Amino acid sequence: QVDLVESGGGSVQAGGSLRLSCKPSGMPFYKGSMAWFRQAPGKERGGVAGTNLEYTTYYDESVRGRFTISYDNTKNTLYLQMHDLKPDDTAMYYCAASYSLYGGSLLLREGSYNFWGQGTQVTVSS
C-alpha cells in the first residue's frame, strides 16, 4: 500500500509561481512512475506532468515550458514547480504513483496509476 500526501497548493495571482510536493509512504525509494493530474470544476481529471525511474518526463501541452516535474530521491518527494500561472490552471491537483515503468503519453494516462493522493487546491486569480 502506498499513501501519497500532497502539499503546497494555495492562491496566487496570474503570473505567479507555486511548488507542489508529494511525499509517498510505503515506497522505500522511488521506482516506477509518478505524475501530477488536475481537475477543474465541471471538467474531467487530466494529466499535467509525469516522470519515471529513468527520469523521462512528459508534459501536457498546456503547461509545457511553464511547469517542471522532478523527483528528489534523497527526500523521496515528487515536486511540480509551476511558473507563469494562469487562471485556467485553477484546479485540484493530484499526485499519482505506480510501480510500473511508463514513458511518453502513458505517463499522463489516468489508468496507468493505482495510487492517488487526496489533492491540493491551486487557485489562480486574474
Q: Digits of tens for pLDDT over the chain (126 positions)? A: 788 999 999 999 999 999 999 998 876 556 799 999 999 999 999 999 999 978 899 999 999 999 999 998 888 899 999 999 999 999 999 999 999 999 999 999 999 999 999 999 999 999
Quick check: 122 and 14 in contact, CB under 8 A?
A: no
Burial class (CB in 10 A: 0-12, 13-18, 19+), 26: exposed
